Amino acid sequence: MKKTLWSAMMLCTLGLSGCGDDTTDPPVVNQPKLDSQSNILAFLEGKTLVMEGDNIPSHPLSLDEDINWGSASQCFQKVSIAVGGNNFHVSSVPGTILNSAGVGQPGSTCDHATAQNALVFDSKAVTLSNIAADGSCFEVLVDYGSFKQEGRAKFSEDTKTLSMELYFEAKATGWHCADGAVGAKTVSTSGQPFTGNAVQVYAISG
């Protein structure tokens, strides 16, 4: 018995065995509550959301980024959203659509590397609803005054990214959380199944 006790004490001294103060377990990180509009907007307050590179989808708002849609074109180099006062301050840097034969014409290409002048606009109201308790899906309505965007969104498990699958108001169906998870092939536009990728992925900083 004495030998066993002495052996255990030596292992503790050498740091080779747990002795009640073992610090090998990872520290507990308090995750923010993302179960209501007020909690989500409070978490985002003062932060900046950035979408660039591979996080830009092929069909933002369901519109092909390679097609010239005029003022509604969805070819981007980078989009930044500063969150403050429960609203979005958006700075959108368009890329360049190459080989376009005119508005609405196919066959052009979005050149993400060649930037155009940034477009800046602010939301009038941001409304979140049908929020899952863990923030894995919630519905978003953003009113920019002259137009609105609606869709579903989610936070990553580590809350480092926010994915928003958005469409122009009343231009798509099947985008509610009850229809499926963010990015699920449940959406129709103009009465036809939407097969593109409209999920905008934003890195959260600040």
Domain hosting residue 93, numbered range: 37-205
Question: Is residue 12 in some structural domain?
Answer: no
What's the CA gap between 38 and 138, in Å, rounded?
Answer: 13
Question: Is residue 25 in some structural domain?
Answer: no
Question: Is residue 23 in some structural domain?
Answer: no
Question: Is residue 113 in some structural domain?
Answer: yes
Q: What pLDDT, on the 0 to 100 scale, is given for residue 100?
A: 85
Q: 46-101: per-residue pLDDT in tens?
A: 999 999 999 999 999 999 999 999 989 999 999 999 999 999 999 999 999 999 88
Q: Is 156 exposed, middle or buried (0-12, 13-18, 19+ CB in 10 A)?
A: middle
Query: Which residue type does 18 have?
Result: G
What's the CA gap between 20 and 57, in Å, rounded?
Answer: 50
Question: Is residue 16 in some structural domain?
Answer: no
Q: 3-30: per-residue pLDDT in tens?
A: 444 444 444 444 444 555 555 566 555 7
Question: Is residue 21 in some structural domain?
Answer: no
What's the number of domains the chain is made of?
A: 1
Q: What pLDDT, on the 0 to 100 scale, is given for residue 102?
A: 84
Is 199 within 8 Å of 57 (Cβ atoms)? yes
Q: 108-150: per-residue pLDDT in tens?
A: 799 999 999 999 999 999 999 999 999 999 999 999 999 999 9
Q: 145-188: per-residue pLDDT in tens?
A: 999 999 999 999 999 999 999 999 999 999 999 999 999 999 99
Is 62 within 8 Å of 166 (Cβ atoms)? no
Q: What pLDDT, on the 0 to 100 scale, is given for residue 69?
A: 92
Question: Is residue 3 in some structural domain?
Answer: no
Question: Is residue 9 in some structural domain?
Answer: no
